[in-house]
Amino acid sequence: MISRLIRLLNSLLGFIVIMILWQVSVDIFEIRPYLLPSIMSVAQSAWEYRSDIFSHSLVTTVQVIYGFGAAVIGGIIISLLVFVNAPIRRIVMPVVIAIQGIPKVALAPLFVVWFGYGTMSKVLMAFFFAFFPIVISTLGGFAGTPVHLVEHFRALDASTTTTFWRLRVPSALPNFIDGCKMAMPLAVIGVIVGEFVGSEAGLGNLLLLANASARTDLMFASIITITAISGLLYGIIYLFGRLVWWRAL
Amino acid sequence: MAESAIVLQNVSKSFGDVNALESVSFDLNRGEFIALLGPSGCGKSTLIRLIAGLYPSDPGGEIAVFGEPVTRPSRRVGVVFQTYNLLPWLNVTSNLRLAADTRGMSKETIAERLPPMLEMLGLEQFSERYPHELSGGMRQRVALGQALLMRPDVLLLDEPFGSLDALTRDQLNVELLRLCQAHDQSVLLVTHSIDEAVLLADRVLMLSKRPGRIVEDIPINLPRPRDPRETRLLPAYASSVNQLGELMGVV
Ligand SMILES: Nc1ncnc2c1ncn2[C@@H]1O[C@H](COP(=O)(O)OP(=O)(O)OP(=O)(O)O)[C@@H](O)[C@H]1O
Ligand SMILES: [Mg+2]
């Protein structure tokens, strides 16, 4: 119990040091607040705007989860199809790679034109940001199944289906989790970019509002909230990843 | 009952311009134990894979298992490969039943055979453990047990006890001897150890450097049942080991 507490404090130590340095340098160098507000004033404005921050956070989080969820489901389906069927692979993979080549930030205005200022355009942004890493790492996992185990299954005359479910899927799971870990922060970025380009709510929207009214303290409060949400969602994936314990072997 | 378990006639295998095996011919009789010795890279694992039906031999040769030409993996063959054939995400029990399950053996039969198998392997206390929690020797026992649970008519073992210390190796050899004697098991064992070959086998085949050809076929006339400690004391053991050692130096 005590040692867990100490470990928790250890992982917070870096943040505490940064905050102290921040506060101290603002005080010592008398930096003007609109450039770098003190941590105290950021905390104050976060408290002052807590209900706004909360409701915008909710909007952003829901959009991230939808977009990420769609990327996971779509990523799994595409990975399965592409791995199992060679003609599909030859048709689909170039398209997937080409889509990854598009500067996705540039898609945001288009999505807003097509789907409006609401949720849909942000969900799509998150999807496009998160999709590729999931597909690539899952496919890598299928293909990276140890050859000697594949050979073992072949010697047992196992059907393709058996080999797939009993061997390839479990050995690809760690890679899939890694893909999700890469994809989650990207999904957050996707949503924020979407909100920058055109939105009525969300933390990206709040950030722009704060910027327009020169409230640097509120901008910082928004940025820190976005980071915290991203970290929280990442943590959830991390916990899921622990179910796939054989990854570390 | 003169039918052979395995017959190889004039079997060759090349990978591109690498000739791994060259016109290998031999019979493995039912209930017979053959050890295959040969320098590294001479095609021993290749030979095992050919018999296991993982890939075809070059045209002109023929491989038959219980009279049937090998075109695909046969249900009557059990293989233990050089690398552990264990799945890291399955515990010992699930790993033991993997092969039998995959081959479609009934749940009842498997359930019946599991406890005695665990006992025989000395792994009762470890039935719920995962491969990474086992020692190297335990893992190799599980790998062997997995093949044995299927009760294959012929067992192909590719250095199943390689990378083990001499003591553990001896223990596993004792177990293997007991099993084979109990079930009149036909075995083809690949090994680098002359001692192991002489202790276990009825016949030792020696392969040349690549491309592998059978250069010697030596009967081991030691009484059965054998026991490593006692058998090693016999004069016939020493002379077989010496004979093989000299031949190994030559090939
Ligand atoms: N799938 C393959 N493709 C190409 N070459 C191969 C393949 N399998 C084996 N070889 C070659 O065939 C030769 C024999 O390999 P094999 O694995 O049968 O040797 P081995 O006798 O089992 O050696 P060791 O005692 O080290 O296990 C080697 O030169 C190897 O490079
Ligand atoms: Mg080998």
Q: Which 8-state DSSP code applies to residue A144? A: T
CB contact under 8 A, A155 and B73: yes
Listed residues B127, B151, B175: the one ending a domain: B151
pLDDT band with cut points at 50, 70 and 90 for residue B1: very low
- C-alpha of residue A130 to centroid of ligand 2, in Å: 43
For residues B49 and B159, state if they share a domain.
yes
* Alpha-carbon gap: A172 to the closest alpha carbon of chain B (Å): 12
- Distance in angstroms (rounded) separating the CA atoms of residues B164 and A98: 51
Task: State what percent of residues in chain B have pLDDT above 70.
Answer: 98
Looking at A154-163, B77-86, B195-204, which range is the least confident one?
A: B77-86
pLDDT band with cut points at 50, 70 and 90 for residue B250: low
Output the residue whose Cα is nearest ligand 1's atom 14: B43
CB contact under 8 A, A170 and B89: yes
- Distance in angstroms (rounded) separating the CA atoms of residues A222 and A145: 43
Output the residue whose Cα is nearest ligand 1's atom 7: B15
B100-135 residue pLDDT tens: 999 999 999 999 999 999 988 889 999 999 999 998
pLDDT averaged over 10-residue windows placed end to end, chain A, 249 residues: 85 88 88 86 91 95 97 95 91 89 90 92 95 94 92 94 94 94 96 93 93 92 95 94 81
For residues B61 and B93, state if they share a domain.
no
For residues B28 and B137, state if they share a domain.
no
Cα of first residue to Cα of last residue in chain B, in angstroms, is 35
What is the count of structural domains for chain B?
2
- Residues in chain A within 8 Å Cβ distance of B81: 148, 151-152, 155
For residues B89 and B127, state if they share a domain.
yes
Nearest to A156 among B88, B89, B99 (CB): B99
Q: What is the pLDDT of residue A123?
A: 96
B42 lines ligand 1 (CB under 6 A): yes
Output the residue whose Cα is nearest ligand 1's atom 20: B41
- The answer to whether the CB of B160 falls within 8 A of the CB of B143 is yes
For residues B68 and B124, state if they share a domain.
no
The structural domains of chain A, with segments of one domain joined by +, span 49-244
B113 lines ligand 1 (CB under 6 A): no
> Which residue in the block uniquely carries the two structure tokens 């952003």?
A60
Residue B158: half-sphere exposure toward Cβ, Cα within 13 Å: 21
Say yes or no to pLDDT of B2 above 60: no
- C-alpha of residue A90 to centroid of ligand 1, in Å: 32
Say yes or no to pLDDT of B219 above 90: yes
* Alpha-carbon gap: A10 to the closest alpha carbon of chain B (Å): 30
B16-27 residue pLDDT tens: 999 999 999 999
Atom of ligand 1 nearest to the CA of B46: 18
Say yes or no to pLDDT of B251 above 60: no
For residue B116, is the peptide bond before it cis, meaning its omega torsion is within 30 degrees of 0?
A: no
- Name A122's Cβ contacts closer than 8 Å, sequence gap at least 6: A63, A67, A190, A191, A194, A195, A199, A202
* Alpha-carbon gap: A86 to the closest alpha carbon of chain B (Å): 22
Does domain A49-244 fall into CATH 1.10.3720.10? yes
A53-97 residue pLDDT tens: 999 999 999 999 999 999 999 999 999 999 989 999 999 999 988
B191 lines ligand 1 (CB under 6 A): no
For residue B88, is the peptide bond before it cis, meaning its omega torsion is within 30 degrees of 0?
A: no
Q: What is the pLDDT of residue B215?
A: 92
